[in-house]
Amino acid sequence: MPVRPSSAGGANSWATAAAAAKDAPRADRNIGPEALAAEIAARLDAPRHFADILQFFDDVPHQTIVQAWTILREADRLDREVKTGRYVLKKEG
C-alpha cells in the first residue's frame, strides 16, 4: 500500500513517501509464461543480460520468468553476443 505523506512535511515528505513505496514489496503481476515470453522477446530489441530481464520483470515470479525463458530457448529464438555474452533474438529467415 502506498505511503501518503503528511501535509506538514511538504515536498520532502513526498520524496520520503516515494522512496518508501519503491522499497515496499509489490504484488506479483499475474501473467502466464507464454505471454511473458512474448514480452521478453520484445525487450530483446537490444542485447541484454539475463539479469537485466530479471530486473525489468521484478514484479513477475521468478518461476514464471524461467518458464518463459525456457519457451524462448526451446523455440531456438535466443542467441548470444560473443564478446559480451548478452542475449539477443535470432534473426528470422
Structural domains counted in the chain: 2
Q: Measuring CA to CA, which residue among 60, 50, 53 is closest to residue 84?
A: 50
Is residue 87 within 8 Å of residue 79, measured between CB atoms? yes
- The Cα–Cα gap between 79 and 59 comes to 25
Compute CA distances 39 → 11, 42, 52, 69, whole Å. 36, 5, 13, 11
Q: Domain check: are 6 and 43 in the same one?
A: no
Counting every residue written for the chain, the total comes to: 93
Q: Domain check: are 68 and 82 in the same one?
A: yes
Q: Domain check: are 56 and 18 in the same one?
A: no
Q: Domain check: are 60 and 41 in the same one?
A: yes
Segment 22-63, tens digit of pLDDT: 444 456 788 999 999 999 999 999 999 999 999 999 999 999
Q: Domain check: are 84 and 40 in the same one?
A: yes
Q: Domain check: are 39 and 81 in the same one?
A: yes
Q: Domain check: are 23 and 40 in the same one?
A: no
Q: Measuring CA to CA, which residue among 62, 56, 34, 51 is closest to residue 87?
A: 51
**pTM score, two decimals?**
0.69
Parent domain of 42: 33-89
